[in-house]
Homo-oligomer: A and B are copies of this chain.
Amino acid sequence: MGTEAERAAGERAEQWEDVAPDAARRLVIAAVEAFAERGYHATTTRDIAGRAGMSPAALYIHYKTKEELLYQISSVGHRLSLRIMEEAAAGSGSPAERLGTAVRSFVRWHAERHTTARVVQYELGALGEEHYAEIVGLRREVDSTVRSIIQDGVDAGDFDVPDIPGTSLAVLSLCIDVARWFNPEGRRTPDDVGRLYAGLVLRMVGSAGTG
């Protein structure tokens, strides 16, 4: 169990590697766990400081409010989502290959980081007005990146898609919902789900290479 727990702790820290200094990173990790367990509104800054082994005053040095912590988590999560999608879109393969890569990577993130992803996806309504607007902007960029891959496939005659915005919405929704149901003790690994979903999505876009 020690090794497994250490690996999990390492993974938790790794996704926040750009959050500095170390105390701020510890607070973010504690906040994700607290929000995921009890919800944003039921968590106090005192709970978060306690989980991070710090005093409320020490928390206050890094984050003035609980909302600032949520914004930090949401911002890192959404920027990572966008990077995953942009890297897939910029790949050198065919539209079908790029769409498959996008789905596999996006699914893997939502499965491996399901605790973070749940907070990122379900607590949007608790963000302050300006932060919310910024995050919605990032979500639009993710959406338009998926659309652009699908559009490329349609333009190349590889895909047959009557409703490109609706199909993009469905592709993203399918990947995001992995965070809700994924169970690390279940029989499908993140990569299994990624492969399954990439195949299903290629069918959704009527990719000539399938079925």
Contacts and interface: CB of A to CB of B under 8 A. Distances in A.
A167 B211 CA distance: 14
Copies of this chain, whole number: 2
Nearest to A178: B173
A114 to B, nearest CB: 13
Contact of A181 (B42, B163, B169, B197): B169
A173 B170 contact: no
A180 B121 CA distance: 9
A14 to B, nearest CB: 25
A162 B211 CA distance: 10
Contacts of A200: 167, 170, 204
A86 interface: no
Contacts of A141: none
A199 B166 CA distance: 11
Interface stretch (A33-41, A64-72, A88-96): A33-41
A177 interface: yes
Interface in A147-191: 160, 162-163, 166-167, 169-170, 173-174, 176-178, 180-181, 188
Nearest to A122: B122
A35 B60 CA distance: 29
Closest 8 CB pairs between A and B?
A: A39-B39, A41-B42, A42-B42, A177-B177, A38-B41, A173-B177, A166-B196, A206-B211
A203 interface: yes
Q: Which of A40, A196, A203 has the most CB of B within 10 A?
A: A203
Nearest to A123: B39
Contacts of A38: 39, 41-42
